[in-house]
Amino acid sequence: MINQIDDTENEKIFKMGGAPVGKMELLDLEEFTIISFLRRWCDGEIARTQLQKELVINLGYAKGAQFFQSFKSLCEIIFYNGRRTLVRHQTDCSCVGADESCFAQLILRAGNNYKEDAILIALLLVPPHLTSETFALASQIGTSIKSLLDTDNKYITLN
């Protein structure tokens, strides 16, 4: 009986994390990009390699490689040490899930130096002992996203 309750609770949590909270087309470009990168990261090794190549092309080798390493480290912390499994929607889904929005807000807040907000969001995702590292990585990613989306640059995607 206890296992049934645990399974039911896990199903409820999974549904809440994936609950739609917005639409991709209504997001600003930074949030859209972050969620798109997260979805592609979750699509597997081929999509990750393609993302890495795009970052290197668009940011240059050093900055692109650093961005990718920071993004990889952040995802690994959240997916391997998270309080629970982060739920994401399919790459081509027009909905924004609650967990995806939380991930994006973490990076946006950290990238704009809203440290207290970012740490609070990090606490929702990871145990307390990982919040400083999570914030530092999110801050690096947020800063790089701004550089990537600079209006003078055109972001190139590989298809």
Task: Report, in angstroms and rounded to the nearest whole number, the Rg of the chain calculated over CA atoms.
Answer: 16
Provide the whole-model pTM: 0.87
pLDDT one-digit tens code per residue, 22-68: 999 999 999 999 999 999 999 999 999 999 999 999 999 999 999 99
pLDDT for position 147 = 86
pLDDT for position 11 = 67
What ranges do the domains of the chain cover?
2-148
pLDDT one-digit tens code per residue, 77-111: 999 999 998 999 999 999 999 999 999 999 999 99
Residue 10 predicted with pLDDT over 80: no
pLDDT for position 105 = 98
- 13: confidence class by pLDDT, cuts 50, 70, 90: low
Non-local (6+) Cβ contacts of 96 within 8 A are 20, 21, 22, 23, 24, 27, 35, 89
Residue 152 predicted with pLDDT over 70: no
CB atoms within 10 A of CB 143: 17
Q: What is the mean pLDDT of residues 70-81?
A: 98
Sign of the four-CA dihedral 53, 59, 61, 66: negative
